[in-house]
Amino acid sequence: MKTIVLYYSRTRKTKVVAETLAKELSADIQEIKDFKERSGFLNYLSASLDAFRESKTKITPENLNLDEYGLIYLGSPTWAGKPSPSIITFIDQNDLKGKDIILFATMGNQGAHSVIKRMNEKIEARGARMVNSFSIKTSGKELIEIKDSTLKKIEEMDLKIYGV
């Protein structure tokens, strides 16, 4: 069975984590895109409110056939202590029954624990199980530093043993 990394990223920080995982773990990768404009300060405030309320949003792809994947990495930034609306929408719209999932969250300074907890509740309700999780702190870091933090996390957690 194959491995896939699924993620949403507004500022490219979560994207760097996802791309590093996919490369190092020889996994497929798919970005979950939000049709709602989330860039800029005012849109970020609106996005944080949407995340806090767990508002659904229009995403692409809406549905993915995950039959060929035995392991899924699912990543979200931390917004108001919650996963991004696009990740909540993705979980609610896709068949995750029987899937093993490693959850990850990026965060400025704090809140990733609650993001992972909420994503875990959502995936369990869809029939999946979390086999591991981690977070990457991104505040004040350049993209190369985020990549290095991800490489370190892969090594520390021995993530290469999953999906073998």
pLDDT digits (tens, 9 = 90+) for 128-163: 999 999 999 999 999 999 999 999 999 999 999 886
If pLDDT is split at 50, 70 and 90, which confidence band does 41 have?
confident
**The domain at 2-161 falls in which architecture?**
3-Layer(aba) Sandwich (3.40)
Of 113, 109, 136, 126, residue with least CA distance to 7: 136
Under the banding of pLDDT at 50, 70 and 90, the label for residue 47 is low
Residue (of 65, 38, 62) closest to 50 by Cα position = 38
Confidence of residue 49 (pLDDT cuts 50, 70, 90): low
Please tell me the predicted confidence (pLDDT) of residue 163: 66
pLDDT of residue 100: 97
pLDDT for residue 164 is more than 60: no
Confidence of residue 38 (pLDDT cuts 50, 70, 90): confident
Q: Supply the pTM of this predicted model.
A: 0.91
Per-residue pLDDT band at 63 (split at 50, 70, 90): confident
The ranges assigned to domains in the chain are: 2-161
Residue 107 has a pLDDT of 94
Q: How many CA atoms lie within 13 A of 26 on its CB side?
A: 7
pLDDT value of position 52: 72
By mean pLDDT, which of 16-25, 59-68, 95-104 is the weakest? 59-68
What gap in Å lies between CA 99 and CA 90, rounded to an integer?
Answer: 14
Question: Residue 74 burial by CB count (10 A; 0-12/13-18/19+): exposed, middle or buried?
Answer: buried
Mean pLDDT in residue range 3-22: 96
State mean pLDDT over 52-73: 88
**Where does residue 35 rank: exposed (0-12), middle (13-18), buried (19+ CB within 10 A)?**
exposed
Q: Which residue type, as a one-letter code, is found at position 16?
A: V
| pLDDT category of residue 109 using cuts at 50, 70 and 90 | confident
Say what the alpha-carbon torsion angle 62, 68, 70, 76 is, to the nearest 10 degrees.
-20
